[in-house]
Each structure stands twice: as C-alpha cells, then as structure tokens.
Structure 1
Amino acid sequence: MRFLKSSVHADLVNLDLQSPTLTIYHRQATRAIVLNGDNILMLYTARYHDYTLPGGGIDVGEDQIQGLIRELEEETGATNIHDIEPFGMYEEFRPWYKPEHDIVHMESFCYVCKIDAQLGETRLEDYEKKNGMKPVWINIFDAITHNEHTMRHSDKKGMSIERETFLLKRIVAELLVAPITQ
C-alpha cells in the first residue's frame, strides 16, 4: 500500500525515534472511505466535536480487510461491504498513555469501499457510546470545514483530527475532483 504521510506529535519532535532505549507500541488500524457522490460516511463524536473515518484497531489474527469489515459493521451498521480497494497508509508517532511503552507508532491503512445504502444497527463499544459517537452521511466539504474549525477553536483536539482532515483533503483531490481532459 502506498505511503501517504508521517506525523510526529509535538512532544516527540526532538526524540530519536530509532533510539534503542525507546519502547514503542506498534498499532495497526484500518479506515474506511465510503463515498456517495460528494457525501462521505463518517463518525461524528460529540465529545471532540469532530468527524472521523470509520475504522479502528486490527485484532490479533485479523488481516487488514477483515479488520476493516468488522470495524465498519460495528461502528456504522454497514452491510454488504464490497469493492474494497487500497487508498494509502498514514502513520503517526505520539506519546503512549500506558507506562510499559514510551510512544505509539500507529499505522492507519485506508481503503475505499462500497456498502448497501441502508445502514443497520451499530455495535459501538462503551467508550464510543459515552463519547457520543454516531455514524452520519455528510458532505465531504462540510466535514473538512467543520474539522478545520474544531482544530482552530477547540482545546480537546488531538492528532486524530489532523489525520482525518488530511485524509479528507486527499480523498477530495484524488477521488472527487475529475481531471480536466482536452
């Protein structure tokens, strides 16, 4: 899968990420890109007032596609997930909140796919429910504008909103804007 971008948390900029003394937790995740014209299937999270692509961590024993399908079904109620195509990988390095590791290296594998129009029941985890997460169809340009506003005005933002906004802009540039032909 092609590499899209690497992002390093501000607290880690001066660290040598290759240092043998650093303990790194490696986490792999998938992200689903589901488009319907200019509308995109997103997760709105009230706690952070942001829009993110559906997806999450790949479980032990799963491959990327299995993780993508499971996460998309759980978080959005999507059915008949098909025509899955790779889009790109976004990596980030950030501080880790558990004492056994210094940092987390997160790789997000993004895939474009199609689903049935009707969404079923979600199976959100407790913390997702508490954070006010819900699947929504939103105009992609509105999602970008919303996330940019949140990044400028919220004290609750983290690296994920920066990742998501970067990905949304790449989706627009590569999947929505048709090249001009002569």
Structure 2
Amino acid sequence: MGRLFEIDLKDYNETDDVYRRPSARAIIIQGDKIALVYSKKEKYYKFPGGGIHGDEDKKEALMREVREEVGMIVIPESIREFGSVLRRQKNDRLENSIFEQENYYYFCDVNETLVDQELDDYENEAEFVLKVVDIDTVIAANDIYKSDVYFNEIMIKRELRVLRLIKEKKYV
C-alpha cells in the first residue's frame, strides 16, 4: 500500500522506545456522502476504524472496527486500498516513548442492515455515533476543531488531510 503522507512532530527523543499501534480505517462512500464516526461530545468526525490486534489481518481489523464503532457490516470483497498515513509523536501515555501509528485506509462497501455498536469506554465517553454526511460539512467541522487533548487534535488533522485528498481526487 502506498504512503499518502507522514505526520512526524519530532517532539520526542530519538532514544525513546517506540510504541507501535497500527490501525485500519474505512472510507465508506454512499452516493454523494461519506459515512463517518461523529463525536457528539467533541464535535469531530473520524473514519471508522482502529487498532489492529496482535497478528490480526488488516482487513479483518477493518471489518471488526467498523462493526464495533458504527454498526456497519463491511462486504469483504469490496475492500480496496487507498493508502497509509504514518503518525509519529511523543506518547501521551508512556514516559520516554514514541507513539507510532501506521494508519491503513481502505475504501469499502457495507450491507444496508446496521447492528448495535460495541463501543469502548473512551468511545462511549466521546459519544460516538454514525453520521452519513456531505464531505464539505465534515471538512468544515474538522478544520475548526480544537481540543484540550493535543493528541486528539493531531488525529483530527490527519483525518482532515485524508478527507481533502478524497475530495481532491473526486471520490465524493
């Protein structure tokens, strides 16, 4: 899979340990709209997806995360690569550690039927819901997003850049 871009804050020591957390993220286009996770509490949009567990296959992780976060069932044979984004910054949870996350983005289609979300505690706290929305609305919301949690701001800046690439390439 080709690299779309990198975000490296270089706010860490090169001698710090590296904590790697790869993730798989879904780009779900529905007509002229895009299906995303919306945080009602934080007022941002993100692509459904999350961490790849152990030696879990990227596509399996993608399907699991989409089902858990937004209750959509990915059609396995519809999964197509878009590209990856590497994110590196000082870890906000582990002292003397670099947070490194390769985010693998995939286009995919989903079944019409929704299932119940299975949210983690932090996802419940952020009040994650599914929203199928116009890409310009998403870009505008994420463009003004600010948070007390700098780690979240970097995540949303990453999502914003991917959204702009999708719009630029006229996928939506």
TM, length-normalised to structure 2: 0.89
Listed one character per residue, the Cα deviations across residues 47-87 of structure 1 (whole Å, up to 9, x for unaligned) are 32100000000011311000000001111111252310000
Partner residue, 2:22: 28
Could you tell me how far apart the structure 2 residues matched to 1:96 and 1:26 are?
10
2: CA distance, partners of 1:86 / 1:166: 17
Specify the alignment match of 2:62 in structure 1.
68
Q: Give the ranges of 4+ consecutive aligned residues of structure 1 lying more than 4 Å apart after TM superposition.
A: 154-157
CA distance in 1, matches of 2:16, 2:148: 29
| 5+ residue gaps, structure 1 | 178-182
Partner amino acid for 2:44? Answer: D
Counterpart-to-counterpart distance in 2, 1:175 and 1:117: 24
Query: Where does structure 2 lack aligned partners over 5 or more consecutive residues?
Result: none
Amino acid at match of 2:43: H
Rounded Cα–Cα distance in structure 1 between residues aligned with 2:86 and 2:138? 21
Larger radius of gyration: 1
1:117 to 107, 112, 120: 112
Number of residue pairs matched by the alignment: 169
TM superposition shift of 1:10: 6.2
RMSD of Structure 2 on Structure 1 (CA): 1.8
- Aligned position for 2:45: 51
Give the one of 160, 163, 167 matched to 1:168.
Answer: 163
Question: Percent identity among equivalent residues?
Answer: 31
* 2:7 counterpart residue number: 7
Within the alignment, does 1:147 sit opposite 2:142 as a pair? yes
Structure 1 stretch 96-105 or stretch 62-71: which is displaced more? 96-105
What is residue 180 of structure 1 aligned with on the other side?
A: none
Structure 1 position 42 matched with structure 2 position 27: no
Residues 9 and 159 of structure 1 are in contact (CA less than 8 Å); yes or no, is this contact kept in structure 2?
no
Secondary structure at 1:104 match in 2: strand
Change (3 A) 1:39 1:28: same
Query: In 2, distance between residues paired with 1:148 and 1:104?
Result: 23
Return closer, same or farther for 1:42/1:80 CA change in 2, 3 Å cut-off: closer
Cα displacement (A) at 1:116: 1.5
Q: Is 1:159 aligned to residue 154 of structure 2? A: yes
Instruction: State the distance in 1 between where 2:98 and 2:42 align.
Output: 22
- Work out whether residues 48 and 70 of structure 2, in 8 Å CA contact, stay in contact via their aligned partners in 1: yes
Distance 2:18 2:74 in 1: 36
Cα shift at 1:33:
0.2
